[in-house]
Chain A
């Protein structure tokens, strides 16, 4: 017990004397979380520039332009000719372009079915798709008015005309995120990916310090397993606190809907952190060089975000990507996170998901073998030195 406390003290003292590690535990996550939240704080895409080329200039074309203008997603920029609108599209000054052709009103009144051309920038997929559907919706509403008038002028009673226009109403529900808020959608996975990187760096630094300051022997002399365990005891709770901070920002300060409880989420986070810890320890004993450990861990953990399956769905990834996804603790966690936050899963389901982490237990024998090899190497060096003297 005494050895444990002295080891914990040793760890805390080292932490206090390492400004970068201290920063990683304190203000860097705060800054990072704040920046990412600020970046997405707009939450809903609004006021996106749209070019309108009105070649008709009649009451109809102007009312259609006003319809687009009235849509919160769009901000109309009028262009007098096609060439300059096209140029604006090419330079991404506008994300979509609506061309109302000449004599559209006359053609429509004489029953010739003219067309309105919409071009949207799908290089910026998120914005482009949104604008395309919003512009079409606005224009369809405007055109429905026109068609209704046409029916009324043919002597069809108003009630019937209304139904004939749209006998089939639809009710579209975005389940679990009712106003399609990007903060609800994107902020949790981005922050989790960032949190995973922080956790990995903190763990790796705590191990690397023994190498950098040449204290491996001293560390091992307290017993390998106790040494590794104490580091986990000191740093895992510190990182769990960061996780709790992220949850506090999302579900308390921003007040995003949360179906489950904080306790469940913290249990899920704890298991994820243990998995990260095992990965980092294995890599540390494998490579035994500060910069290489960091480089390798970074290379491994940096692309975790696309593999979470939030932006692009997991079931549409090829098999190989789905396997790689299983390597990342964050992808296991995000499944529990969504289950708890959106679906309000109960404990039994959570535990069932947590058994998904079983693969990481295979790291334990690997760590044992590698750690013993490293220890023997260090003590052999020491003995050789002693023998030489």
Chain B
């Protein structure tokens, strides 16, 4: 059998196996729609806020209006007491509360100091941070307004008054994901993880289904088989990778700062190492329903161990070290740095070499594994 014939056999086996087809073609397409779906609106806005205004003065109403005007907040009700506000939150009718104490305006004017109360439902951190950020900026504006009026009343020059209040300006700007969107935060990494997991599952099911029966796979040398399988899956996954990193990135407005050649150069060992790892794993299974289950169970730990959601600095060292053997763990992070943050190639070069190292390692294990499975088949 020539090498091209072998690759064609492989491709046919992949396409004709419905379990593999569901995972590879169905999964990759379906997830490219499903995973970004919840984040279409990028940032949470207009969170429902209830106001407990016990002051009922011109200033407290002004603060309430400012809160309603904030893009992050929407005042849904004015309530009489804090327990009532809590009930609204527990019923899901509101997610935050602003408490304005009695004597708010009078105390401020008398320079006595008052305390505004902000509360947010911290069961949902994104909602909580939106509520608090919105309220903090509203409160800061109110404070500056009062201070400014006070300084002016004392006969200060408006220009000087401004500087006295803020001797130094703080200018805090987000970089790499300028709109603070959730899409740009989660989706690039998750899409790469989908590529990684489906590739492992696809090679796993294909191998597990074949080992017990002789077929084209047992009539060629193990080295040839592993190479052929790498080429077949490589062909399919270079298409999938182009779809994810190209079309999907464009469609969802994800940044792609790496050059095409950099990305291609990095995806090469990423896909090869993953595919070789998949072939190596597949040698451990003879039941076609097991590879999927195994990969599914470990997919959530892998997701968090890549470090793009929860920082690696906070993950215990043994977990981080152990997970480095999985091509996706260092690979996904490096591609995010390269493509989302525009990191220079030198900063990911060691990961690139690590992926080639993993490729060699899993290639060797795959060879031994296929050889072993063939020996078993012949013994029967």
Binding site for B on A (CB under 8 A): 20, 24, 28, 32, 35-36, 38-42, 45-49, 87, 89-92, 95, 104, 108, 111-129, 132-133, 135-136, 139-140, 143, 146-147, 150-151, 160, 163-164, 166-178, 180, 182, 185-186, 190, 193-194, 197-198, 201, 205, 208, 212, 289-296, 298-299, 302-303, 305-307, 309-313, 316-318, 320-321, 324-325, 338-339, 342-343, 345
Contacts and interface: CB of A to CB of B under 8 A. Distances in A.
Interface in B20-53: 22-23, 26-27, 30-31, 34-35, 37-41, 43-45
Nearest to B333: A92
Given A121-B175, A146-B167, A39 B305 contact: yes
A307 B294 CA distance: 23
Which one of B186, B313, B314 has the greatest number of beta carbons of chain A within 10 Å?
B314
A39 B292 contact: no
A345 B89 CA distance: 12
B108 A167 contact: yes
A306 B186 contact: yes
Given A32-B297, A39-B310, 7 more contacts: A116-B168, A123-B185, A291-B289, A306-B38, A318-B37, A318-B41, A321-B37
Contacts of A113: 162-163, 166-169
A175 B119 contact: yes
B116 A171 contact: yes
A340 to B, nearest CB: 11
A312 B89 CA distance: 17
A167 B143 contact: yes
Contacts, number: 319
A32 B299 CA distance: 11
Contacts of B176: 121-123
B118 interface: yes
Contacts of B129: 129
A169 B100 CA distance: 11
A174 B342 contact: no
Closest 10 CB pairs of A and B: A291-B19, A122-B174, A174-B122, A177-B122, A42-B314, A122-B177, A291-B288, A123-B176, A343-B90, A118-B172
Contacts of B27: 295, 299
9 contacts: A90-B341, A91-B347, A113-B163, A122-B176, A147-B165, A170-B115, A291-B292, A303-B35, A342-B90
Contact of B290 (A20, A38, A116): A20
A294 B169 CA distance: 58
Nearest to A345: B90
A282 B313 CA distance: 44
B358 interface: no
B341 A169 contact: no
B41 A190 contact: no
Given A113-B163, A120-B175, A140-B170, A201 B296 contact: yes
B335 interface: no
A110 B231 CA distance: 69
Contacts of A163: 111-113
A136 B170 contact: yes
Nearest to B112: A163
Contact of A295 (B22, B41, B132): B22
Contacts of A104: 168
B151 to A, nearest CB: 8
B336 interface: yes
Contacts of A180: 122, 125, 128
Contacts of B177: 122-123, 125, 128
B173 interface: yes
The prevalent SS among residues of A at the interface is: helix
B148 to A, nearest CB: 11
A176 to B, nearest CB: 5
Contacts of B288: 290-291
B300 interface: yes
B174 A294 contact: no
Given A111-B163, A124-B308, A176-B123, A292 B343 contact: no
A164 B111 contact: yes
Given A118-B170, A175-B89, A176-B121, A169 B114 contact: yes
Interface in B72-91: 86, 89-90
B209 interface: yes
Interface string B269-298: 000000000000000000111101100110
Contacts of A139: 170
B122 A201 contact: no
A146 B165 CA distance: 11
A303 to B, nearest CB: 6
A129 B180 contact: yes
B239 interface: no
A146 to B, nearest CB: 6
A292 B168 contact: no
A6 B108 CA distance: 79
A115 B167 CA distance: 9
Contacts of A174: 119-120, 122, 128
A305 B121 CA distance: 20
A198 B205 CA distance: 20
B126 interface: yes
B60 interface: no
Nearest to B296: A298
A123 B119 contact: no
B129 to A, nearest CB: 7
Max chain A C-beta neighbours (<10 A), residue from B38, B45, B342: B38
B113 A169 contact: yes
A359 B210 CA distance: 40
A208 B175 CA distance: 50
A167 B123 contact: no
Nearest to B178: A122
Interface string B319-350: 10000000000000000110011111001000
B127 interface: yes
B170 A289 contact: no
- Interface-central residue, A39, A46, A205, by most chain B CB under 10 Å: A39
B353 interface: no
Contact of B168 (A143, A293, A313): A143
A40 B186 CA distance: 18
A90 B19 contact: no
Given A90-B343, A116-B168, A294-B292, A36 B304 contact: yes
